[in-house]
Amino acid sequence: MTTKFAAHARERKVRVLATLGPASETPEMIRSLYMAGADAFRINMSHGGHEDKAALVAAIRALEKELDRPTTILFDLQGPKLRVGTFAEGSVQLRNGATFILDRDAAPGDETRVQLPHKEIFEALRPGARLLLDDGKLVLRVTDVADYRAETVVEVGGKLSNRKGLNVPDVVVPMAALTEKDRKDLAFALSQGADWIALSFVQRPEDVAEARRLIGGKAALLAKIEKPAALERLDEILEQADAVMVARGDLGVELPPERVPPAQKRIVETARRMGRPVVVATQMLESMIQSPSPTRAEVSDVATAIYDGADAVMLSAESAAGSWPVESVAMMNSIALSVESDPGYQARLHFTETPADPTTADALAEAAGNIARTVSAAAIICFTTSGSTARRISRERPDVPVLVLTPSQATARRLGLLWGAHAVHTRDVDSFEEMVGKAKRMALRHGIAKAGDRIIVMAGVPFGTPGSTNVLHVVRLTGHELKRQS
């Protein structure tokens, strides 16, 4: 029964990405999350050691083998963490209008000053720039900068304690997105067979290019958009990345809250137009960390991301450290099924125009969706080595499921973040007849079509040549294809 469940495609097209942590680190819990609807698993490198992460990977790969389903693992690198130093009394109270100094002196701070151990920030700061402390709870405005010393005025005061975080929203900090810890974590993630690497603290396309060089094609690269500077060069960053995440946590600290929803919509639209998978993340079902049910506003938030056409929605602390991890995944699954069953869902999806590039593969991908509607096809079946055909079809957001058949296990795993794709790792085909026969059998076996249904088959000839999609074929199933299989 387990194998049958796993073989059949999910009923929904949006993907669910679940973060693993103390509440969900056992093989039993990981299996429960998958069965509840998790399509991909996020491993957060900000917490825990390599040994713990290796155990998570082993559990996911064991589940993959048990269910005979490619399963997606995303390693999320921590990135630079900007923090102030310590205080003689452990904390201070900053008053509105007071002068407060940030400097390189390691001596414990007081109500007048504290250490800021990041010289790069001083190099970038200019009078007028804001400094946000403790997730934006306190706000300082720079009045003067000289010789690794910044004088500020307290605009929003409050309690400031040791090593609280610092955000610098108004300037591009001349600091690499990859720290020494990130480089070690990246090497570890690649050694563990990571499918995706999520890059934090992205400010410019060069950050993504550096990470891509280090990854060397061993995993796909997702750029987290959490800095206002990244929004200014969004298209360039997406050109370098394989996917993008709307990281609303830090983005919501560095931007005024009311500017986050328009930013989210812009990132989703840009990613869809450029054919990059897009994940919406952070605080989606935040109340389910402690409560077995979400607020109505949270449900609406998740639904909005799905209506906008996000490829995946992500759970953070809800599945990693909350009291109701399985229920959180199940709720995501339920919201997605409800939205996707709305008669107006497809029309809403296509508010965002995704014009095809002037290539044969893009023209066929666009045509496949139109043909599926015209002839009421049940599914689109695509043969791909690199996954590019699947990404092109997914960008069009067709009405029907997309069954992706690939001889590459790495490709099958990476497609776990792609809207509408049900990837299957299988042997490649050598002829047109074998392609049609295999497409029919797989459509029946994975429950996406039945006897009498039409399916659309896409592939590239010669077979096994990446990026050569040039065939679109419509065929009807008899329902006897599996019986004739030897």
Coil, helix or strand at residue 413:
helix
Find the catalytic residue in 282, 384, 389, 406. Answer: 282
DSSP-derived secondary structure for 183-234: HHHHHHHHHTT-SEEEEPS--SHHHHHHHHHHHTTSSEEEEEE-SHHHHHTH
> Is 83 designated active site?
yes
**Element at 128 (helix H, strand E):** none
Distance, in Å, from the CA atom of 119 to the CA atom of 123, rounded to the nearest integer, reads: 7
Burial class for 101, CB neighbours closer than 10 Å (0-12, 13-18, 19+): middle
> Is 282 designated active site?
yes
What lies within 8 Å, CB to CB, of 121 at 6+ separation is 82, 150, 166, 168, 173, 175
CB atoms within 10 A of CB 278: 27
Query: Tokens 């049910």, residue?
Result: 293
Output the CA–CA distances (angstroms, integers) from residue 430 to 51, 82, 247, 427, in the order listed.
43, 54, 43, 10
Find the catalytic residue in 13, 42, 164, 413. Answer: 42
Which two three-digit tokens encode residue 353? Answer: 């125009």
Which two three-digit tokens encode residue 374? Answer: 């015209």
> Is 126 designated active site?
no
Scored b (16 or more CB within 10 A) or e, 212-238 reads: beebeeebbbbbbbbbbbbbebbeebb
Is residue 329 within 8 A of residue 10, CB to CB? The reply is: no
Q: Which of 481, 434, 422 is nearest to 453 (CA)?
A: 481
Distance, in Å, from the CA atom of 428 to the CA atom of 340, rounded to the nearest integer, reads: 32
Query: Tokens 């043969």, residue?
Result: 383
Hey, what amino acid is at 317?
Answer: A
- Strand pairing category for 379-383 and 402-406: parallel
Chain-centroid distance, C-alpha 113: 39
> Is 272 designated active site?
no
Whether the ω angle into residue 292 lies within 30 degrees of 0, i.e. cis, is no
Find the catalytic residue in 130, 224, 272, 397. Answer: 224
Scored b (16 or more CB within 10 A) or e, 314-324 reads: bbbbbbbebeb
Burial class for 486, CB neighbours closer than 10 Å (0-12, 13-18, 19+): exposed
Find the catalytic residue in 10, 61, 81, 83. Answer: 83
Q: What is the DSSP letter of 143?
A: E
Is residue 145 within 8 A of residue 91, CB to CB? The reply is: no
| Residues annotated as catalytic (active site), given as ranges | 42, 83, 224, 282
